[in-house]
Structure 1
Amino acid sequence: MEKREINPWKWQNERSYVQAVEVKNPEGTLYVSGQTAINSDGISSNENMESQIKLALKNLEQVITEAGYKCSGIVRLNIYTTATDELWPHFNIIQDWVAKHNIKQATTLLEVKSLFETLKIELEATVVK
């Protein structure tokens, strides 16, 4: 697989994403459903944004790993939140996770009216190998 990043500007570099990712000759593509702060018993978290981000990232990583892919293969990461004002103070958690896995992904951040039950954040990914 070959990946090429397209960045006509430099300002996005500090925001932990790229403008576009081209993938040539992938061995496989994994489309991951939105991962949230739901525990292994299927119970939605009612904790704060920080805790929910950490659990959603853990769940995302678990799905990707169990599918036989690597987080470094994420080429698209969509972030849905019910409150961007609550997300921003903790956005570094996502940025640190992206850096830890050396991910260079296209990203869309959307504030939505609601998510399932008590959830505040949902992470949807496309992963290639």
Structure 2
Amino acid sequence: MKRTAVNPWDWSLKLGYNQAEVIEGATRQVICAGQTAVDGDGNPQHPGDMRGQINLALDNLEAVLKDARMDVSNVTKLGVYVTDVDEALKNFDLMGARFGPHQVAPPMTLIGVTRLAIPGLLFEIEATATA
């Protein structure tokens, strides 16, 4: 698979994502449901802790990708839903820590919401991965 970044402007690069990517030669695609800060039984973890919730949601995303025989280097699109955009952005270094070592900056949308499906959750991330 070949990824070519499309960035008519460079401002998004400073935030860790490309405006778009052209994907060529892909043979498999995985569409992941939104991952949140829940344990293996679906119980919310890290109440009131945005950083802890982002970290666990990313752990859960990586677990789903691994089960599909992929990793974050295969992610080609992210959707992020948060109950507090400012608090989430303060902790986005966690996103860079996960995606940066793989040298990928998938296009991303960050949306502020009133609440998520399970009360107490602050952060949810969905992904499309391509190989």
Instruction: Return the TM-score normalized by structure 2.
Output: 0.93
CA RMSD of aligned residues (A): 1.1
- Equivalence for 2:125: 123
Q: In 2, distance between residues paired with 1:79 and 1:50? A: 14
2:83 is equivalent to residue 82 of structure 1: yes
CA distance in 1: counterparts of 2:102 and 2:120, whole angstroms: 28
Residue 102 of structure 1: aligned partner: 103
Contact 1:15 1:95 in 2 (8 A): no
Q: Secondary structure at the match of 1:53?
A: helix
Moved over 2 A (4+): none
1:100 CA drift (Å)? 2.2
Name the SS of the counterpart of 2:91 in structure 1: helix
Pairwise CA distance, 1:85: 2.2
- What residue is the counterpart of 2:29 in the other structure? 29
- Between 108-117 and 91-100, the greater mean CA deviation after superposition: 91-100
Aligned CA distance change for structure 1 residues 34 and 69 (closer, same or farther; 3 Å): same
Q: Percent identity?
A: 33
Consecutive unaligned residues of structure 1, counting only runs of 5 or more, are: none
**Aligned pair 1:114/2:129, yes or no?**
no
Partner of 1:50: 51
With the length of structure 1 as denominator, give the TM-score of the two structures.
Answer: 0.94
